[in-house]
Each structure stands twice: as C-alpha cells, then as structure tokens.
Structure 1
Amino acid sequence: MFDSRHIKTFHEVVRAGSYSAAARALGYTQPAITQQMKALERSVGTPLFTRVGRRLRLTEAGEALARHADTILDSISAAQAQMNAITRLRSGRVRVCAFPSANATLIPEAMARLAAGHPGVRVELLEGEPPESLGRLVRGECDITLAFTYPGLHEEVPEEVVEVRLLEDQLTVLMPTGHPLARRRAVKLADLAEERWIAGCLRCRANFLHECAEQGFAPDIAFTTDDNLVVQSLVAEGLGVAMMPGLVLSFLCHRKVTGRALDPASRRQVSAYVLREHLRIPATALVLDELRAVAANRVGC
C-alpha cells in the first residue's frame, strides 16, 4: 500500500532530479527525503532509483511509478476535495424512505429548508410502509427511514438503529362533507358503526380494527387501498368513510371531503430511524435536523 506522502515526495524527486533539490522544494532535510524514498522502495519491493555519478536515474519500476504518480496525486487531491465538500455540507447524498403521508407533508417542507441552506446536498426519496421500510434501512437501501407505530404496538428495532421521535400524529375520520356528523368538531367511532369503511395499509388496518373492537363493533370494510388520494376520492363519492392520519388533512384534494378528529383522541407516533454510525455523517445529521425542525411546527397535528 502506497503512502501518499511518499508518492508526493517521489514525484518531486523525479521532477527536481535529486534528493537535495527535492528537499529544498518541499522544505525537508535531505536525510528525510532519503528515508521516505527507502520506505517507498520497501513498499514496492524493488529499487526505484540508481545513481549514475551524482545523478539519479529511474529504474524500470521507478519509470512505471513515475508514469502513474501524476494520476495518483490528482486522484488523491480530487478525493480530498470531495471529502471536504461532504464534511462542509457543500455536497452529499442522503436516501430517505418514508410512508406516503410523510412523503407528501414532512419531506417536502424539510427538503425546501435543506435546499435553501445547503443546495449541494441531494436527497433521493423512496416510499415504503413499516415494518418493511425499517428492513430497507438495515439492508443499506436507504440512510433514513420515516415510520410510524400505534399505541400498544412494540416496534422491534435492531440494536444498531436509533429512533428519533418526530411527532404524534392525531388520527381523523374522513367523511363526505354532507355527512350529518361533519358538523361536529370531533366524532366517536361508535357513532359510525353502521358506515361502510375504507381501510389502508396493514399496520393502519390492524390498529383500526383494534380501535373499533374497543368501541364494541366490527367495521364493514368495503374497500382497501394504500393510496391516500384514492381514499379521498372514494370518500368524496360517498362510498365510505375512513380513519386516516392527521397528516392527510394537509393535502385534502376534494372539497367534498371533511376531516374530523376522533373523540377520544387517538394518535400514532411518527419517528425517523437511522443507523447509529450514520449519525456522524454530516449530510445525514443535517437531514434529521431539518425533519425535527419541520415536525416541531406540527406538534399535535
């Protein structure tokens, strides 16, 4: 393995033509130059110079290394520049995997803040529901995962993963605007026991069924879809009602849909997950900071 300092010194010896001239150019003593060249020769396993009188002549191995020295030093310089850009947050890439309602709300706001302050940091967006999204984090397919859990659901988080709590998202019921209960500020699930329902992802559906059971009824699930916009369209057409996260209220697309909070209130925990070692990566830490800042403005949403 080459030492970059030795390559730099070798390059200067070749350019200057002697150890003494290289020492003057680099600000070293001549013995220091001699020691570095001996160390480099031990590294490559063969002499790099021979002496002809007072002049140095490159051996065949020395000529081969000299042909590559410029490229090696340029590559090292480019790598150092790139590392400096990343550590100073002038560049970098962060892959974020989030569930749909977070991708439609928290992520755009956080990315707008990021773009304003650090335009060189790029974010790749992926979509996934928990627990699969946590699996993608552990497999190295993303750098940050946004996921949610419901009360009573114990999330098995690997030891190498850190949870960063963002906010508690209050659950709501979406119903047609003309629905009799739409005039209330909050509604009870039991008051909607006779309605047809639209259910979401597996984790949301499991919590929905649990809450309905707590209220003493089994819901009539007419439709099942993970697509928030499809849910809204079905509700708008009067085909059912849906229990949805409060984040969805930020992008209601239908005037014929009204969202009302549950009574008693029910919430889910929204968190970011990251590998413990990645907390030290500047761009990853920055994205987490922006997510925390955006979530702080939505506390109790």
Structure 2
Amino acid sequence: MVNPVHLRTLVEVVRLGSFAAAATRLGYTASAVSQQMSALERDTGVDLFHRSAKSILPTEAAVVMTRHASKVLTDIEALMAAATRTHDVTSQELRLGIFPSLATYVLPKILQKPAWKDLGIDLRVSVAEPSQTIQGLRTGGELDLALVYQVGQSGLAWPHTLNRQWIGDDNFRVVLPAAWGIRTDAKMAADHLSEMPWIVHHPGTSDATVIERLFASCNLHPRVVAYSDDFHASLEMAAAGLGAALVPELALLRRPPGVVVLDVPEIRLARNVFALLFNEKKTARVQLFVDLLAETLSNLGSKGK
C-alpha cells in the first residue's frame, strides 16, 4: 500500500529537482527523503528516478504519478476531515499565531471560502512577527500553530520538536519610483542600481543582514535615504520619489500608483513561509487548513508580480 507521506515527498522532489531541496522544504534530512523514495519505488514496483553521482532525474512514471498525487492527497485529507466530523460534531479550537502580511492578505481570503465553513475550526488569532510567535509555541500553552517566515538562512530558530511544513515563498521584488522614468520591462543589472537612493531595513536584524550580503554579492552599494521595516511605508515613500526599495510580493498586492516593479536577475530572495505546530495538534482539520493556506498564498503571490 502506498504511503501518502511518500506521495507528498515525491511531489516536492519532482517540483524542486533534488532530494536535498525537498528535505529542506519538508523538514526532513536528505537521507530520509531518499529512503522514502526508495520505499515508494518498492511499493509501486516502478523506477521513479534516474540516479547518478551528480544528479537525480525523475522518470516519466514519476512525472505521471506526480500529476495525480496532489489530488489524491487532497481527497485523502478531505475524507479524514469528513470522518472526524462524523464522530465529533464539535469544533476544534485552533490558536493561531500569524505574521502581519499573511494576516492581511491570505487569512481573510481563507475565511471567505466555503471550504473554511466545513472545516469545523474555532479560530483564535494572534498577529505578531515570527520571533514573537515562536515564543508562543515555546511556552507550550499560548499557541497551537504558528505561521512564520525565514529570509535565506537567517537567525530565526524554533524547537526541533515542532512539526514544520513549508507552505510557500513570498518573493522579494525591486520597486522604483515611476518618476525615475525606468520601464517595468527594462533590462537592468543590480550594479546599475548602485549609488541610487534606497529605502532599506533597519540594520542589525536578520533580514537586513541577508539583504546586505545579497546586495554586496551583486556589487550593489545603496545610498540609504530611509530605514523602514514597514513595507507599506516603503512603498508609499518610493511612490513619492524618495528611493528604491526591496518589497515582498504580498505587500505589492496593494501597491500605490507611482511605483515600478522591476525584475533584476541577480536579486533573487524570498521569505520562505512555514507552518509550525506540535505533532499532537496535527489533525486532519488542521492539515486541510494548512493546505488552504498554501493554495491561497500561491494564488495571491502570482498576482503581486
């Protein structure tokens, strides 16, 4: 019998192109992912990967299986949730910690979906930055589920006893004042933006450190005219012509007129969004809620481009 956990891992391996990348997304080791894929091959009797010393490539069978795996997983989770509601008509309380961008753009969309009303979750919400939210999980009593983000390999840390699930990426984009006369489709290298006025994160934070290193690697040396950790304030100042800014796509959903969103190939950075929870809290209802988050984030992220 095929293990649904192995199917979920297969989807990530094929999507991301390596065992190591899938392991990072799912919170496993690369060895554990390899073992899961070997077990899936034994269970199905099908070779899923062409393996070499330097790479793994999915076979045609793996690609076909992946196309159907997402629907199968969703159906399994829906059945589990239905079974839970059959035996327990009461709702499940879920104490949720969530960071502001997700609370502003993603959570309200979910609460308006018909699928939300069928979940039977009694939600309690706390909006805070990831470091504060994780503290609520560390104390073991304030929160059941935390939605957090990590920029690069920043200093954010959480207890190893928590279950971690990647739910999506919120990519950063370069935003310029429209008054500068640079078109959205302009081909521009990072070093062309050097010495221009910039609105940047306050120094000393983990996010700022990652961005500073990225800029330095691109030979981009900004002339700082403002410090702001509020992306909406950064967007408004950029629209007024004060300077350029690096802003995640979620915040761009409400970008003001007067800004240009630019694609700079060397500047590739994202807020990796994770769901953290205690294993005993991971019911079918909670998993369906997390899946709704991932689906909604993916759909909204494409609109911010």
Question: TM-score range, shorter-chain basis?
Answer: 0.5 to 0.7
Match of 1:124 in 2: 124
Matched, 1:290 2:289: no
1:79-110 C-alpha deviation (Å, 9 max, x unpaired)? xxxxx979746533323222222222222222
Letter in 2 for 1:248: A
Q: Is the 8 A contact 2:155 2:206 kept in 1?
A: no
1:4-40 C-alpha deviation (Å, 9 max, x unpaired)? xxxxxxxxxxxxxxxxxxxxxxxxxxxxxxxxxxxxx
Deviation at 1:219, TM superposition (A): 2.4
Letter in 1 for 2:262: R
Equivalent residues, number? 216
Q: 1:222 aligns with which of 221, 225, 232?
A: 225
Letter in 2 for 1:142: L
Match of 1:38 in 2: none
- Mapped partners of 2:187, 2:249: distance in 1: 13
Aligned pairs for 1:72-111 within 5 A: 88=88, 91-111=91-111
Matched, 1:247 2:272: no
Matched, 1:212 2:225: no
- Mapped partners of 2:86, 2:289: distance in 1: 13
Match of 1:162 in 2: 163
The structure-2 alpha-carbon separation of the partners of 1:91 and 1:194, relative to structure 1 and needing over 3 Å to count, comes to same
- Mapped partners of 1:262, 1:89: distance in 2: 52
Give the % identical residues: 20
Aligned pairs for 1:175-186 within 5 A: 175-184=176-185
- Mapped partners of 1:114, 1:271: distance in 2: 24
The structure-2 alpha-carbon separation of the partners of 1:226 and 1:180, relative to structure 1 and needing over 3 Å to count, comes to same
Superposed CA RMSD: 2.9
Q: Which runs of 5+ in 2 are unaligned?
A: 1-83
Q: Is the 8 A contact 1:130 1:203 kept in 2?
A: no
- Match of 1:172, SS state, is strand
- Mapped partners of 1:196, 1:86: distance in 2: 60
- Match of 2:113, SS state, is helix
Q: Is the 8 A contact 2:193 2:220 kept in 1?
A: no
TM-score (structure 1 length as normaliser)? 0.61
Matched, 1:172 2:173: yes
Match of 1:235 in 2: 238
- Match of 1:251, SS state, is coil
Letter in 2 for 1:275: F
TM-score (structure 2 length as normaliser)? 0.61
Q: Is the 8 A contact 1:101 1:228 kept in 2?
A: no
